[in-house]
Structure 1
Amino acid sequence: MDNLLTLTARIAKCGVLRYTPTGVPVLDLMLEHESMQRENNLPCTVRLEIQAKIVGKDALIWQHRENSTVRVSGFLAAKNQRYPKPILRIQNIQEYKG
């Protein structure tokens, strides 16, 4: 089954860098997106916020990059067993210069 999301968004908030018990860096982000899309052949303004997480060396690179516009891709997963709402688990992140 497929579970892949690609999004261009602004990093609205960076959480505090933390580490797993095995020493892997983890960074929680809040991403904001706004664009014009077409739905049923009509223009539609889309605005959304989505929680995201970076695990690994990219967490170190992006920890102080609030307000940067980025292109991210990854998959959606529940935050944890008690919080079933999805977050974006980022596997690839790049600065967007569009």
Structure 2
Amino acid sequence: MQNRLELTVTVEREDPLRHTPAGMPVLEMWLRHHSRQTIATLERDVSCEIQAVAMGELAKKLAGKVAGNTVHCTGFLNQRSLRNPRLVLHIEFVEFVKG
């Protein structure tokens, strides 16, 4: 089974870098996507906001540098916690989009 998501987004905001009780760096952020997509030969505007999280070295690398920027990211979806089923994108790769 596959669970991969690839999006080009604007990082609307990011929280300050925090650490888990085990010492793992965590960066939470909110992403906004806009595009035009074709489905069943019809074009439509697509827009969504998604919560995302980066962990470990990637979180440290991105902290304080992504808010307001457009990035291309890939990762996987998971629920926020055992008690909270809201989906969160766990980011594994980020590339800044120029322009």
Whether TM-score is above 0.5 comes out as yes
Question: Shift in Å at residue 22 of structure 1?
Answer: 2.4
Counterpart in the other structure of 2:40: 40
Task: Output the amino acid matched with 1:69.
Answer: T
C-alpha distance after superposition, 1:40-98 (max 9, x if no partner): 11111001000000001111222212111001100000000111011000011111126
For 1:35 and 1:70, locate their aligned partners in 2 and report how far apart those are by CA, in whole Å: 14
SS for the counterpart of 1:58 is helix
Question: Shift in Å at residue 20 of structure 1?
Answer: 1.6
Counterpart in the other structure of 1:94: 95
Give the number of the structure whose residues are more often strand, by fraction. 1
Counterpart in the other structure of 1:9: 9
For 2:81 and 2:22, locate their aligned partners in 1 and report how far apart those are by CA, in whole Å: 19
Note the residue ranges of structure 1 that are not aligned, 5 or more in a row.
none
Counterpart in the other structure of 1:81: 82
Task: Output the amino acid matched with 1:76.
Answer: L
The TM-score, its normalising length taken from structure 1, stands at 0.94
For 1:8 and 1:76, locate their aligned partners in 2 and report how far apart those are by CA, in whole Å: 16
After TM superposition, the runs of 4+ consecutive aligned structure 1 residues lying more than 2 A away are: none
Counterpart in the other structure of 1:67: 68
Task: Output the amino acid matched with 2:26.
Answer: V
State the Cα RMSD in Å.
Answer: 1.1
Question: Shift in Å at residue 21 of structure 1?
Answer: 2.0
The TM-score, its normalising length taken from structure 2, stands at 0.93
Task: Output the amino acid matched with 1:3.
Answer: N
SS for the counterpart of 2:80 is strand
